[in-house]
């Protein structure tokens, strides 16, 4: 489930700097993982969003063919899904750097909520993620 209702753009910032508290974008659903979009433009940054997973929920393994991205874990713990490679533990306070074309995803294996910020720049041609 995605929420783009509060997503800011270059235009909505009016040429200024956007300062955001990612905790204000943490919302959870018992039915499925959620993604709350913070910012995106048509130039440099494709998306800044917060993914929120209740225990047992996941963002399935996938790749971004055109761009690398960065994940900062706000709260909770779980596994970074790595396709054919062994999954890696991830927890609050960690930063994950995901190169382009590397299989990745996240699963909340903990007993509390897992929430992380994802920063995705534009890649060559701005291609969509493939799942």
| CA gap 104, 62 in Å, rounded | 6
Residue found under tokens 């399935």: 60
Contact present, 39 and 7 (Cβ < 8 Å): yes
Contact present, 82 and 63 (Cβ < 8 Å): no
Q: pTM for this one? A: 0.88
29 DSSP 8-state letter? -
For residue 123, the model assigns a pLDDT of 74
Task: Give the confidence band of 124 by pLDDT, cuts at 50, 70, 90.
Answer: low
**14-18, 31-35, 58-62: which has the minimum mean pLDDT?**
14-18
Domain boundaries, the chain: 2-130
| Among 129, 72, 75, CA closest to 102 | 129
For residue 14, the model assigns a pLDDT of 86
Mean pLDDT over 4-21 rounds to 91
* CATH code of domain 2-130: 2.60.120.10
% residues pLDDT > 90 (the chain): 80
Mean pLDDT over 7-27 rounds to 92
């Amino acid at each position: 489930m995605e929420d783009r209702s509060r997503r800011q753009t270059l235009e909505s910032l009016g040429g200024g700097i956007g300062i955001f508290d990612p905790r204000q974008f943490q919302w959870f659903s018992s039915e499925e993982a959620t993604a709350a979009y913070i910012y995106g433009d048509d130039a440099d940054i494709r998306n800044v969003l917060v993914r929120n997973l209740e225990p047992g929920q996941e963002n399935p393994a996938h790749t971004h063919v055109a761009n690398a991205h960065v994940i900062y874990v706000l709260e909770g713990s779980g596994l970074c899904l790595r396709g054919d490679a062994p999954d890696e533990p991830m927890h609050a306070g960690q930063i994950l750097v995901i190169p382009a074309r590397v299989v990745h995803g996240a699963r909340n294996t903990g007993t509390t909520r897992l929430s992380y910020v994802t920063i995705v720049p534009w890649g060559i041609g701005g291609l969509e993620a493939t799942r």
